[in-house]
Amino acid sequence: MKKFSVAVVGIGVVGAEIVKILKERNFPIREMKILATRARTEKIGDCEYEIEPTKIESFQDVDIALFAGTEGAKGASRQFGWQAVENGVVVIDNGDDYRLDPRVPLVIPEVNPHHLKNHRGFVSSPNCSTIQLVMALAPLHRHSKIKRLIVSSYQSVSGTGKAAINELQSQTMAIVKGREVEREVYPHQIAFNLFPEIGSLKEEFPGYYGEEVKTAKETRKILDEPHLAISATCVRVPVLFAHAEAVNVQFEEKLSPRGAREILNSSPGIKVIDQPEKSLYPTPLEVAGKDDVYVGRIREDSSTSNCLNLWIVGDNIRKGAALNTVQIAEEMIRQRLIS
What whole-number distance in Å separates Cα of residue 132 and Cα of residue 74? 21
Which helix (H) or strand (E) element contains residue 65?
strand 64-67
pLDDT tops 60 at residue 72: no
Ordered DSSP codes for 235-299? EE-S-SS-EEEEEEEEESS---HHHHHHHHHTSTTEEE--BGGGTB---HHHHTT-SSEEEEEEE
Distance CA 185, CA 193 (A): 14
In 144-237, DSSP assigns E strands to: 146-155, 229-236
Count CB neighbours of 298 within 10 A: 23
Whether the predicted pLDDT of 339 surpasses 90: no
Q: Of 287, 289, 193, which Cα lies nearest the Cα of 237?
A: 193
pLDDT > 70: percent of the chain: 99
User: Mean pLDDT across the stretch 177-187?
Assistant: 97
Query: Which residue among the candidates 115, 119, 141, 243 is catalytic per the annotation?
Result: 243
Whole-model pTM? 0.96
Mapped onto helix, strand or coil, the DSSP state of residue 211 is helix
Burial classification of residue 48, based on how many CB atoms lie within 10 Å of its CB (0-12 exposed, 13-18 middle, 19 or more buried): exposed
Whether 70 has a pLDDT exceeding 70, the answer reads: no
* Window from 21-30, 37-46, 107-116, 248-257 with minimum mean pLDDT: 37-46
Q: How confident is the model at residue 120 (pLDDT cuts 50, 70, 90)?
A: very high
Distance CA 106, CA 292 (A): 19
Higher-confidence residue of 45 and 213: namely 213
CA–CA separation, 29 and 26 (whole Å):
8
Of the candidates 118, 32, 34, 47, the residue with the CA atom closest to the CA atom of residue 76: 34
Confidence of residue 21 (pLDDT cuts 50, 70, 90): very high
pLDDT of the residue at 73: 55
CATH no., domain 130-316: 3.30.360.10
Taking the chain, what is the end-to-end CA distance rounded to the nearest angstrom?
Answer: 12
Quick: pLDDT tens for 75-106. Answer: 789 999 999 999 999 999 999 999 999 999 99
Per-residue pLDDT tens for 236-248? Answer: 999 999 999 999 9
Backbone angles phi, psi at 210, to 5 degrees: -55, -40
Q: For the segment 263-314, what is each residue's pLDDT rounded down to a tens digit?
A: 999 999 999 999 999 999 999 999 999 999 999 999 999 999 999 999 999 9
Beta bridge partner(s), residue 245: 153, 312
Query: Exposed (0-12), middle (13-18) or buried (19+): which is 108, by Cβ within 10 Å?
Result: buried
Catalytic residue at 128?
A: yes
In 3-state terms, what secondary structure has residue 85?
helix
pLDDT (average), residues 62-69: 94
Tell whether the model's pLDDT for residue 60 goes beyond 90. yes
The domain over range 4-126+321-334 is classified in CATH as 3.40.50.720 = yes
Active-site pick, 115, 119, 128, 234: 128
Residue closest to 199 by CA, chosen among 217, 182, 181? 217
Does residue 74 register a pLDDT over 70? no
Confidence grade of residue 172 (pLDDT, cut at 50, 70, 90): very high
Predicted confidence at residue 216, as pLDDT, reads 97
Q: Where are the domains of the chain?
A: 4-126+321-334, 130-316
- Measured torsion, CA atoms of residues 124, 79, 73, 161, in degrees rounded to the nearest 10: 110
Q: Work out the average pLDDT over 157-178.
A: 97
Residue 75: its pLDDT value, please? 72
